[in-house]
Amino acid sequence: MPDSDEQRELLRAIREVARSAGQGHIERDAAGEFDTEGWKRLCDVGLFGLPFGTEWGGLGQDLVTTVAVLEELGYGCHDTGLTFSATTHLVSTGVPLHRFGSADLKSRYLPGICAGTTIGAHAITEPGGGSDMTGMRTSAARDGDVFVLNGNKAFVSNGPIADLIVVYARTGEPGDIGGLTAFLVRRDSPGVTVGQPVGKLGLRTSPLAEVFLEDVRVPRDHVIGGIGAGFLVFDHVMQWEILCGFAVTTGELRRRLERCVEHARSRTQFGVHIGSHQAVSHKLVDLRIDVETARKWLHDTARRAQDREDVAADIATTKLIVSEANVRSALAAVQIFGGYGYTTEYGLEKELRDAVGGTIYSGTSEIQRERLAVLMGLDRPLTTTGKKGRTWQ
């Protein structure tokens, strides 16, 4: 955990801003509205520059500190859609640009990413493609000093509000893991069309849309990580996405546990507080175990990743533990609050709807289990690379 005065001050500032940024979340969820004012508050505290160099306007914090700060964001902010959009922006565009972008790309775009005035997204999944990344059909054909992109991307979080989109496209043969390339595409490029916002079960305040690419001409110098390095870029981004996104979720778990304990201590039934009933108290104990387990895996994995250790299994395990604990926690909260938990007024039914998404995005629970099976040396069916157990998404 952060131990310097600067890092502790950053945590304190995030706590204060997070509380104000989440106000009105129930009404925005019902309307499916993105919180522009809340986004500005996160900009003001420097959230979007957390792990990026000070030369581009970032805060220059390490991964462990970034994860700790994002956990505090999740703890304080009740607008899960806003926090989801924030981590999507930071990770989908800022991380690959910072790690793999050229000096020119960084100088042109990272300051806006760090300030939050330029909003980022990434376009990976395709209609009918699901987790099969190497089978994607979006193509990028070389034409002199530009690439011409054609294709259709689905489930693009931040799509309706994005200024920059990292698009993954095929530059090689279908099924070839080395045939994918990441491109930094400006939203205002001719041929880029963003569809209407898509309605969702949860995370309704985080806008989602399809992105259509028709003869979009992208300069060669907007390639991120080199031609054919798309899977390498993607794999790095996924590590950050899971650690940062589920750091926020871990904060939500902490907040929900505290709220449930407080309710159990104050709510009276049959002349006693409901927390004195074994059925309720044991449920709360299970929630506490989930919180402590999630925090341990999250922070241990972040520390190991920062030390450049092999965290492939840890990342998949962390994602499974935190995402599935979140669903259990949200469902338990609805049950503990009873009829009140089922109403929209208390916001708990919204938290349950939001929690379901965590078992799907950033690689489904099934994909994470498949990945762990591969890492355990178990024989798997042929993957899209044509080799046993060599890739995942």
Spell out the domains of the chain, with CATH numbers in brackets. Answer: 5-119 (1.10.540.10), 121-226 (2.40.110.10), 232-375 (1.20.140.10)
CA pair distance 139, 230, nearest whole angstrom: 13
CA pair distance 272, 318, nearest whole angstrom: 38
Residue 271: predicted pLDDT: 85
Compute φ and ψ for 156, nearest 5 degrees: -90, 100
Residue 393: predicted pLDDT: 32
DSSP H/E element including 31:
helix 25-31
Active-site residue, selected from the candidate residues 71, 72, 210, 241: 241
Strand boundaries in the chain, DSSP class E: 120-123, 139-143, 146-157, 164-170, 180-186, 192-194, 208-219, 223-224, 268-269, 272-273
**Mind listing the pLDDT tens digit of every residue in the chain (393 residues)?**
556 777 788 888 888 898 888 889 999 999 999 999 999 999 999 999 999 999 999 999 999 999 999 999 999 999 999 999 999 999 999 999 999 999 999 999 999 999 999 999 999 999 987 777 778 999 999 999 999 999 999 999 999 999 999 999 999 988 788 899 999 999 999 999 999 999 999 999 999 999 999 999 999 999 999 999 999 999 999 999 999 999 999 999 999 999 999 999 999 888 899 899 999 999 999 999 999 999 999 999 999 999 999 999 999 999 999 999 999 999 999 999 999 999 999 999 999 999 999 999 999 999 999 999 999 999 766 443 333 333 333
Other CB atoms within 10 Å distance of the CB of residue 317: 18
Residue 288: predicted pLDDT: 98
Residue 382: predicted pLDDT: 45
Compute φ and ψ for 120, nearest 5 degrees: -115, 160
Residue 391: predicted pLDDT: 33
CA pair distance 188, 158, nearest whole angstrom: 15
**Residue 241 falls in the annotated catalytic set:** yes
Residue 10: predicted pLDDT: 86
CA angle, 360 then 125 then 182, to 5°: 125
